[in-house]
Amino acid sequence: MSQTNRLSSGGLIDRRKPLSFQYNGKQYQGYEGDTLASALLANGVDIIGRSFKYSRPRGIVAAGAEEPNAVMQIGASEATQIPNVRATQQALYEGLVSSATNGWPNVDFDVMSYVGKIGGKMMPPGFYYKTFMWPQTMWPTYEKYIRKAAGLGRSSTMKDPDQYDTLNHHCDVMIVGAGPTGLAAARAAAATGARVIIADEQEMFGGSLLSSRELINGKPAIDWVRTVVDELSANPDVVMLPRSTVNGYHDHNFVTIHERRADHIGDRAPVGMTRQRMHRVRAHWVVLATGAQERPLVFAHNDVPGVMLASAVTTYIERFGVVPGNELVLMTSNDDAYLTALSWASTGRKVVAVVDSRAKADGDLVKQVIDKGIRVIFGSAVYDVDGGTRVKAARISGLTADGKKLTGKSETLSCDTIASSGGWSPVVHLSCHTGSRPVWDDNIIGFVPGETQQKQLIAGGIRGHYDLLDCLTEGMNCGYVAAERSGYGPVGKRPEYKVARIRRSPAMPLFLVPHLKPISQAPKQFVDLQNDVTSAGIELATREGFESIEHVKRYTAMGFGTDQGKLGNINGMAITAQVLGKSIAETGTTVFRPNYTPITFGAIAGRNCGELFDAKRYSAMQPWHEENGALFEDVGQWKRPWYFPKSGETMQQSLNREVLAVRNSVGILDASTLGKIDIQGKDAREFLARVYTNAWAKLGVGKCRYGLMCKEDGMVFDDGVTSCLAENHFLMTTTTGGAARVLEWLELYHQTEWPELEVYMTSVTDHWATMTISGPNSRKLLAQLTDDIDLDKDTFKFMDWRPGTVAGVPARVFRISFTGELSYEINVSANHGLQVWKKLMEVGKQYDITPYGTETMHVLRAEKGFIIVGQDTDSTLTPYDLGMGWAVAPTKPFSFIGKRGMAREDAVKPNRKQLVGLMAKKPDVVIPEGSQAVANPNQPIPMTMLGHITSSYYSATLGRSIAMGLIRGGLDRMGETVYYPQADGSVIEAEICSPVFYDPKGDRQNV
Amino acid sequence: MLHIFCPHCGEYREEEEFRCKGQAHIARPLDPEACSDEEWGHFMFFRQNTRGQHRELWVHSTGCRKHFNVIRNTVTYEIEKVYLVGTKPETEGAAS
Amino acid sequence: MSEVLEPKKASAAGTVASAEPVYALMDQRPADMSNAESPLSRFRWQVSSSGKNVGVVARELALLGHFILRGNVANADFVKGAAEVLGVELPGTLKSNAKGNLVVRWLAPDEWLITVPGEQAFAIESNLRKRLTGHYSLVNVSGGQTLLVLSGADAVNVLRKSCHYDVHDRNFPVGKVVGTTFAKAQCVIRRAGQQEWELVIRRSFADYLAAWIQDAAQEYGFAVK
Ligand SMILES: [Zn+2]
């Protein structure tokens, strides 16, 4: 079958460039400039899918974003599958592979058609809720088959081979829509020197002018389009985005645009080009020139393939050179649709009749049609359709003036195509995205944008103004106004547009064409084609008490499809109003939300995927860690060495080896990730006293001190060591994960509560590379690498720091310990971190220096009962709950942060959860972290829970397991036994003890 | 995505550069120890849930790291005023 | 969260210099710089295969001296002293001042970033310490960050893919400095020339940002100097 419906001339397609494509396994041919839909129609393909619920055959209805039926699966390979592509918006390219989304196993014969036939009775609206939700356990089973049979498209199971990205923009005037209105607006705004962006979802700019025969300034409209496009292209401050759908309009004039950069080129984007791009635009002013979509009329069997929108038929003829049938019946309630009869007649194919619901009409277009000798039947309507897989005839009858009832005799008009038009619905979707409600306008028989908070102008079709001259003029005016309000212009000479006005006779408000039978008994009159919502369904919903339009929508699923009810919603609202005996204005409309059309996940993710999904932070010593086989642990965004396995080792074996190396000789840890804040100013000490719970007044130069930070509620939120570098100069350390949070918190207090304190804080986390050497041999090792630091144990004591040179690099060395061993924390400028680390490894070889990671560090500190904030704490524990009352100085003169909070009645009540040590009775059992403690393991569920395990390890030092955890009143329950029931039914028995498992007097760190 | 004027940078910036720190003008009691548990609880936990003009404290996190106050309309999302910490301009209808 | 309505203002006037050194000062740069590693010195760049059509060129200005200076512009002697030592005024809001290889960038109303050639770093730090009065802070952050310069006709497009700040000539003239988000990190951007953008990149984020930048630049043709 070749292109039987293709005209030999006309349209904007290039007949010299044939393209072959595949649809449902068959090869077809179209031309460059086609959409997939126009190419299918050219080839006489009538059925492009099956309906969702009733599995009825469906054909192409529209020519744009509103298409409900022609929703395709595209992709030549598994990796390039894209579901739910509207054939009307998919440009044809050589080798395009497509298949119908709906209709498993195929569109011509499928399982659901049998279900569907019964289903007509079986599946009324609310069917899913009523039937399948009960019993609830069966729902997954039903859903699986319904979804499979209905076919909602499928995404690829493989990684998308294409790339996507985001581009940010700022502009003065953002114009949505490049039809006559938008182009006139862009031209005007650009002429003022303003920065302009104009976007349109279609392949090329021009909108309605692409299929128009009107003249602008005496020339074909398409010539004007080309002139303006050329003019705008030459302006460096204009960004033109065809194939770009403005999908969201957000607060403060933020607009998101989905550009399909390569979807028209091939199955995959060319090398070096992203397939799709999200444009994120912040605009001073937005001009909505989104135009209008034609509203179909609702009548019985209006879903039979061959029933189409009138304007779509015109578009296929005028723009694509495709006549989608042989014999046309046009059903209309307005003058505009007469253009379709004129276009059809011009192709030499037969216009059987124009059926006009109005008693009379004498507009220019009507006259032209009558003059051509085409039969026009006034005061009548198509109320039913004959035919199954294609229209065979239209049944018409007289209609009362109010459109509520049929009158007179029926007549059957033989035809294969019925074009219908109920008038225009302004495309108000974007105007609703920021919360504005559209308003019904009786004059234009449609909703127009309501009041908005946005700096937004509207022009042309979106206001219900359809005359070309009005569109051009309004667009131009909006362009100038938007530019002027953004600080540009005014311009002296404005272009003039000369367009012959078309006189139109008044349109008639008609939505549902009545049938001979009442709604509930009439054959199906489809409102929402994609979701198979009928007028009877809406009536049933209202009868069951769903009177709010939002409820009707949810109950019937009207507008829930991938087309979001672009064709059906207004008719649905009108029918709801009619059934309820209300006006449409009273019934109101549902609200449209982003996105206007479906969008790929790739475009949303952009570059933020794979390796670039999130920032990864590394220390200066990362190359060494990688070369030496470290496994890494995520700590916030940081990648920290977790442990350094040697070949053949299990994780536990590695940890044991690393732990024992620290206890017996020397280990080395990369501690660079700790947050570090440089604090300077004469009030630095006072500031520290206010933000830490302990005292700082007497900390001398050269000394370090551990501190706890609480929030105002008295609960611990960070900890670390702060050192006095000079009288007015301190270096604070924070937890790795808390660094940014703590700095912002300190700034908050300084800026808002205590601006009189002379103190400045600066992050130096990245500046210092920090390596901790820990173990009895650490002093000997350090001594071999420094000659200007006195390491004598009586002069460089525990909790002292000294400046000096280590391995030839200026360093600050802090004698602090998180392992309980003799330790030195060496800080050098990170530019020299790697070289110093390597030197330590080289010289440390004689002591068998052992690199250790975070997991080993956790074991070592747990052996000493040192907490990790965020692991052993969870924002519900005071320092007292942690057994760290020694770190609180309640007598400090200033009421430090947390002091009042920890004195609250609740914070001092008995039996609070407190941190204790826990030893499993069986020393080889490591109690799983998170295990809940109970006093009586035989208590029936729900059991009384006393607390949970926060840290739990096997300690190689002690040759047994150790744990820390919270227990109600735990500090007073030393020696008691608690039980940890496990998911497998077993129970672990443990004894409450001090959390300091090793070297309780702290001798080892003081040597 | 709000567009927020930072009074310290003197420019509008994208919301992603900022963090909202909650209701503004929650003054820390000068003598916390003198507060009853109830008074302290109000300072700690009680916040307005305003419909309309709401005073908020924001920080320009990835810019100048400075805090400032805004009056934001919670219905329209319009930012009606931006002002420095330590000041409190009167605004018709704004909850204090 | 919290706020006093009429805070006591910090005094702007200089305080009497103490005899004790109230701030720690240390030359953190070793004499032997042969083993120094800048944040991007080991990054494995992937440049476009063809040499022609290079739209974006990346160049690290490695191992400079970086200092964060904070102080109160109401203290005239602080402002004057800084200008004397640096040879340029402290720039105002969102501006930078440069003299030769020394660049001062405004970061906040009380905060500037000074970059100088590495070998001059300690002298400038010492001189500032000697000269400045009143409440101020000076912090050496040379190891914690680096400068990455993106140049070429499409450098601006890499920025537009990476941050939401408006980089149009009318909003971002040469010399302007802006702290903003960049990919999922933070960045200070200075427009050093018509087609030259200088990014201040934190060391720990350097690999991530370099990978991001080269990925964003691929379509324009990418080279590294
Ligand atoms: Zn700011």
CATH topology of domain A164-289+426-485: FAD/NAD(P)-binding domain (3.50.50)
C-beta of residue A378 within 8 angstroms of C-beta of residue A358 = yes
A681 and C144 in contact by Cβ < 8 A?
no
Q: What is the pLDDT of residue A673?
A: 98
3-state secondary structure of A345: helix
Cα A423 to ligand 1 centroid, rounded to whole Å: 51
What confidence tier does A489 reach under pLDDT thresholds 50, 70, 90? Answer: confident
Tell me the average pLDDT of chain C.
92
Q: Beta-carbon neighbour count of residue B48 at 10 Å?
A: 11
**pLDDT, tens digit, 9 for 90 and up, residues A542-568:** 999 998 998 999 889 898 888 888 999
3-state secondary structure of A476: helix
- Asked whether residue C26 is domain-assigned, the answer is no
Q: What is the pLDDT of residue A50?
A: 85
* Domain formed by B3-26+38-84, architecture: 2-Layer Sandwich (3.30)
In Å, how far is B72's CA from the nearest CA of chain C? Answer: 16
* A881 vs A137: which has the higher pLDDT: A881
Q: What is the pLDDT of residue A124?
A: 53
Beta strand A768-774 pairing with A823-829: antiparallel
Q: How many Å apart are CA A383 and CA A392, to the nearest integer?
A: 14
Identify the CA nearest to A767 among candidates A678, A681, A835: A678
Tell me the average pLDDT of chain A.
94
Looking at the structure of chain C, the number of domains it has is 1
C179 and B64 in contact by Cβ < 8 A?
yes
C-beta of residue A327 within 8 angstroms of C-beta of residue A417 = yes
Q: String of b and e for B11-45 (b: at least 16 CB within 10 Å)?
A: bbbbbebbeebebbbbebbeebeebeeeebeebbe
Burial class (CB in 10 A: 0-12, 13-18, 19+), A591: middle
For the ranges A465-479, A565-579, C85-99, the lowest mean pLDDT is seen at: A565-579
Q: Beta-carbon neighbour count of residue A316 at 10 Å?
A: 28
3-state secondary structure of A552: helix
Q: What is the pLDDT of residue C1?
A: 46
DSSP E strand stretches across A78-121: 82-86, 96-100
Class for the domain spanning A517-597: mainly alpha
* C18 vs A759: which has the higher pLDDT: A759
Q: What is the pLDDT of residue A2?
A: 83
Class for the domain spanning A770-846: alpha beta
Categorise residue A193: left if φ over 0, alpha if ψ from -120 to 50, beta otherwise.
Answer: left
The token pair at C190 is 């200075």
H/E segment holding residue A908: helix A905-908
Tell whether the model's pLDDT for residue A183 goes beyond 60.
yes
The token pair at B1 is 């995505």
C22 and A728 in contact by Cβ < 8 A?
yes
Class for the domain spanning A14-130: alpha beta
Q: What is the pLDDT of residue B54?
A: 96
Give the contacts of A298 (CB within 8 A, at least 6 positions apart).
A422, A511, A512, A513, A525, A526, A527, A535, A571, A575
A453 and B78 in contact by Cβ < 8 A?
yes
Number of residues that this document lists for chain A: 1007
Q: What is the pLDDT of residue A547?
A: 86
C-beta of residue C203 within 8 angstroms of C-beta of residue A830 = yes
Interface predicted TM-score (ipTM): 0.97
Q: Which residues of B touch A (CB under 8 A)?
A: 1-3, 14, 19, 21, 28-29, 31-33, 35, 37, 40-41, 43-44, 57, 59, 61, 65-67, 76-78, 85-86
Mean pLDDT of A799-804: 98
Q: How many Å apart are CA A554 and CA A564, to the nearest integer?
A: 12
What confidence tier does A155 reach under pLDDT thresholds 50, 70, 90? Answer: confident
Distance of CA A268 to the CA centre of its chain: 23
Identify the CA nearest to A956 among candidates A850, A843, A805: A850
Query: Taking CB atoms and an 8 Å cutoff, what residues of chain A touch B28?
Result: 712, 753
Q: Is the peptide bond before A57 cis (omega within 30 degrees of 0)?
A: no
Tell whether the model's pLDDT for residue A52 goes beyond 80.
no
Neighbours of ion ligand 1 (CB under 5 A): B 6, 8-9, 60, 63-64
Q: How many Å apart are CA A370 and CA A850, to the nearest integer?
A: 97
- Asked whether residue C185 is domain-assigned, the answer is yes
What confidence tier does C8 reach under pLDDT thresholds 50, 70, 90? Answer: low
Report the CATH number that the domain containing residue C214 is assigned in CATH. Answer: 3.30.1360.120
- The reply to whether A517-597 shares the fold of A164-289+426-485 is no
H/E segment holding residue A73: strand A71-74
Residue ranges, chain B, pLDDT below 50: 94-96
CATH node for A294-423+507-515: 3.50.50.60
In Å, how far is A762's CA from the nearest CA of chain C? Answer: 7
Of C30, C138, C144, the CB nearest to A810: C30
Number of residues that this document lists for chain C: 225
Cα A728 to ligand 1 centroid, rounded to whole Å: 28
Tell whether the model's pLDDT for residue A779 goes beyond 80.
yes
Name the one residue in this structure whose structure tokens are 């005239």: C76
**pLDDT, tens digit, 9 for 90 and up, residues B67-81:** 999 999 999 999 999
Residue type, A309: L
Distance of CA C51 to the CA centre of its chain: 30
What confidence tier does A133 reach under pLDDT thresholds 50, 70, 90? Answer: very low
Burial class (CB in 10 A: 0-12, 13-18, 19+), A780: middle
**Crossing angle of helices A854-863 and A651-664, rounded to 10°:** 60
The token pair at A439 is 């308003």
CATH node for A670-763+878-906: 3.30.70.1400
Cα C159 to ligand 1 centroid, rounded to whole Å: 20
Show the domain range for C118. Answer: 55-224
B62 and C186 in contact by Cβ < 8 A?
yes
* A853 vs A123: which has the higher pLDDT: A853
Residue type, C172: F
**Counts for chain A of helices (H) and strands (E), in that order:** 24, 49
In Å, how far is A666's CA from the nearest CA of chain C? Answer: 25
Q: How many Å apart are CA C164 and CA B16, to the nearest integer?
A: 9
**pLDDT, tens digit, 9 for 90 and up, residues A96-109:** 999 988 654 455 54
C109 and B24 in contact by Cβ < 8 A?
no
Q: Closest chain C residue to B19 measured between Cα atoms? A: C1
**pLDDT, tens digit, 9 for 90 and up, residues A325-343:** 999 999 999 999 999 999 9
**pLDDT, tens digit, 9 for 90 and up, residues A739-750:** 999 999 999 999
Mean pLDDT of A516-535: 94
The token pair at A946 is 């006393």
Q: Beta-carbon neighbour count of residue A7 at 10 Å?
A: 21
